[in-house]
Amino acid sequence: MKKNTASQAVGAQLVSATDGSAVTSGTTTVYVTGDAGTQAAGSVGSGACTHEGNGYWTYAPAQAETNYDLVAFTFVNTAAVNATVQIYTSFPQTGDNYARLGAPAGASVSADVAAVKSDTAATLTDTAEIGAAGAGLTALATQASMDVVDGIVDNILIDTAEIGAAGAGLTALGDTRIANLDATVSSRLASASYTAPDNANIALIVADTNELQIDWANGGRLDLILDARASQASLDVVDGIVDSILVDTAVIGAAGAGLTGVALSTAGNEAAADALLARSIIGGANGGRDVKDALKALRNRVEIVAGTMTIYEADDTTAAWTAAVTTTAGDPLSSIDPA
């Protein structure tokens, strides 16, 4: 803008007096001060200013308002902090006339500029890493996921190495466990507190085992109970009894070799047999679900009525115990009544 020439627009940025945000609305009026004279509202439109955007306001002064060496335009809005723009129209400019914008933040303005350049370069680097549409961020997230997967794979490889080729590691572990079990059994058998099984009890077990085998082969009561879908509890009882029989049968050995040298006592054998029948199938105690009750389901009357299976005593009249039974259409089995 030159003195005594056609005027050009001047502008200023207005910020809110409360929070520093850009002032974009309301009425902004410019006041003109020429060569330190009396300040007055602008002559064009009474100093009305135009908002150009983002808080930037402009005013196109009359030529007469620029006919000074120094002209100050003060922009006023009730919501904003006043802003003054000073223009030297033709006065020779020297360093003393430059308005100081403030002391440098660093050692000098040059140092501040260098710091800004460094920050700008870092920003450009980060922007390049982010990439178009955040592609760089996607890659970063993928890398984090891959790191997690890599850690899991490393653990799998360690476990696989311990297992070894063709499960050799597992075989070695099993061999160790078997060796430990064998040593424990040997130690128990050699203990002074170990008592060999009573021959009479073993004889009873052998007889029961033979009877079970015959019944099974002939489609006897055990087979019928299974066909009637007896409760799992009943099957568990039978399974426990069979397991015990197998253990004792192994002690008897081939051709009764385990019985050699064992003295027989009728009274003692009978007492032992009765004690065995009263022994809990869970082990460690007597009573409850004992061996005698479990065997009743194989030899005595069994009846199924309205979803309940009743196992009777040897008289086939007195109920011994019951179990819930689930049946399906087409499977009308309701009782087993032995002669």
pLDDT digit string (tens) for 177-212? 778 877 877 777 677 666 666 667 677 777 777 776
Mean pLDDT of the chain: 79
State the burial class of residue 59 (Cβ atoms within 10 Å of its Cβ: 0-12, 13-18, 19+).
buried
- The region of weakest confidence among 72-81, 230-239, 301-310 is 230-239
**pLDDT 10s digits, 242-299:** 787 777 777 777 766 766 655 556 776 788 788 778 888 877 788 778 888 888 888 8
As a whole number, mean pLDDT of residues 15-24 equals 94
> Taking 70 as the threshold, does the pLDDT of residue 48 lie above it?
yes
| Distance, CA of 330 to CA of 228 (rounded, Å) | 11
**Range picked from 8-17, 214-223, 320-329 for highest mean pLDDT:** 8-17
* Alpha-carbon distance values, 49 to 57, 73, 80 (Å): 6, 11, 14
- In degrees and rounded to multiples of 5, residue 22 shows phi and psi of -65, 135
Residue with tokens 């309940």: 308
Which pLDDT score, from 0 to 100, does residue 83 have? 96
In angstroms, the CA 297 to CA 237 distance is 10
Buried b vs exposed e over 18-45: b needs ≥16 C-beta within 10 Å? eeeeebbeeebbbbbbbeeeeeeebebe
Query: In terms of pTM, does the model score above 0.85?
Result: no
| Separation in Å, CA 168 to CA 157, 159, 162 | 15, 13, 9
Maximum pairwise Cα distance, the chain: 144
Number of H helices, E strands in the chain: 8, 11
**Stretch 330-338: mean pLDDT:** 71
Q: What residue ranges do the domains of the chain occupy?
A: 10-97, 101-130, 135-188, 199-336
Q: In this predicted structure, what is the pLDDT of residue 286?
A: 85
pLDDT score at 93: 53
